[in-house]
């Protein structure tokens, strides 16, 4: 069974540009989560989508946004990129609507903002 | 608010040593879930174990074992007879009612040959 996949693996942008990151969940999973892992800041929760709706949001500015498609894949968009947005962005998926269900992670997209 | 503390930032051991990674959590929820993940240099977080707050039984899986103690709010992870392939960053995490997974800052384990 295929795991969570993310694309691209690496992304290099300049300050002020927009970045789009993509995630495909494990088959049968309806929930998708996004996390940012910046150097020295640990893993920070960004967004949670389930059944196409945004269910929860971390403490990030509105320029971080996303969506979930009918096939449960998801996009994370980061507008007006800043140098501090450079980080590993991890996507996870879970069965959804199940208390404490396990989140399985993808390999991540490493975003570098120059 | 929930909080997970991994006090050990980095641990270095020699192969075949046993090593314990500490995890202390804080929550007001009566129902919660605890997790351990491994992050090798490749970057992908690998799920290791999940426990719910009602199940304090310790668990062993091969060389890995976990000790969950509600009395001390701890969920420690022990690797027996460590191997070089165990070198990674290990994260403890918890989830309560908010569905948000809260991570500790991780412990970097280096196993030297």
Q: Chain A interface, mutation test: which of B6, B9, B99, most A Cβ atoms within 10 Å?
A: B99
A102: nearest CB among B31, B47, B103: B47
Nearest CA in chain A to B92: A43
pLDDT at B98: 65
Percent with pLDDT over 90 in chain B? 78
- Among A38-42, A69-73, B107-111, which stretch is predicted with the lowest mean pLDDT? A38-42
> Does B43 contact A33 at a Cβ distance shorter than 8 Å?
no
DSSP 8-state symbol, A97: S
Question: For residue B99, is pLDDT > 80?
Answer: no
- Min distance A100 CA to chain B CA atoms (Å): 6
Average pLDDT, chain B: 93
Question: For residue B65, is pLDDT > 90?
Answer: yes
Q: Per-residue confidence at A98, pLDDT binned at 50, 70, 90?
A: confident
Tens of pLDDT, residue by residue over A61-90, are 999 999 999 999 999 999 999 999 999 999
Give the mean model confidence (pLDDT) for residues A102-112. 95
A55: nearest CB among B52, B91, B99: B99
Six token digits for residue B69: 């103690």
Q: B41-45: long-range contacts (C-beta < 8 A, 24 or more apart)?
A: B41/B88, B42/A107, B43/A88, B43/A90, B43/A107, B43/A108, B43/A110, B44/A105, B44/A106, B44/A107, B44/A108, B45/A90, B45/A92, B45/A105, B45/B91
Pairing verdict, β B88-95 and B107-112 = antiparallel
């Amino acid at each position: 069974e295929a795991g969570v996949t993310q694309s691209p693996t690496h992304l290099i942008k300049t300050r002020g540009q927009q970045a789009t990151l993509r995630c495909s969940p494990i088959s049968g999973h309806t929930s998708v989560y996004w996390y940012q892992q910046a150097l020295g800041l640990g893993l920070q929760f960004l967004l949670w989508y389930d059944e196409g709706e945004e269910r929860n949001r971390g403490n990030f500015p509105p320029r971080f946004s996303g969506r979930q498609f009918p096939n449960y894949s998801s996009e994370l968009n980061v507008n007006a990129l800043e140098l501090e947005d450079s980080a590993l962005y991890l996507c996870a998926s879970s069965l959804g609507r199940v208390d404490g269900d396990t989140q399985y992670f993808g390999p991540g997209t490493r975003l570098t903002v120059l | 608010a929930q909080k997970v503390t991994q006090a050990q930032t980095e641990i270095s051991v020699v192969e075949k040593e046993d090593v314990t990674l500490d995890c202390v959590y804080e929550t007001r929820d009566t129902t919660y879930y605890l997790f351990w993940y491994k992050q090798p240099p490749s970057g992908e977080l690998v799920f290791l174990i999940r426990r719910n707050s009602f199940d304090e039984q310790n668990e062993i899986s091969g060389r890995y074992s976990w000790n969950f103690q509600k009395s001390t709010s701890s969920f420690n992870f022990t690797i027996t007879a460590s191997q070089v392939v165990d070198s990674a960053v290990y994260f403890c995490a918890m989830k309560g009612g908010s569905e948000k997974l809260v991570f500790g800052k991780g412990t970097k384990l280096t196993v030297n040959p």
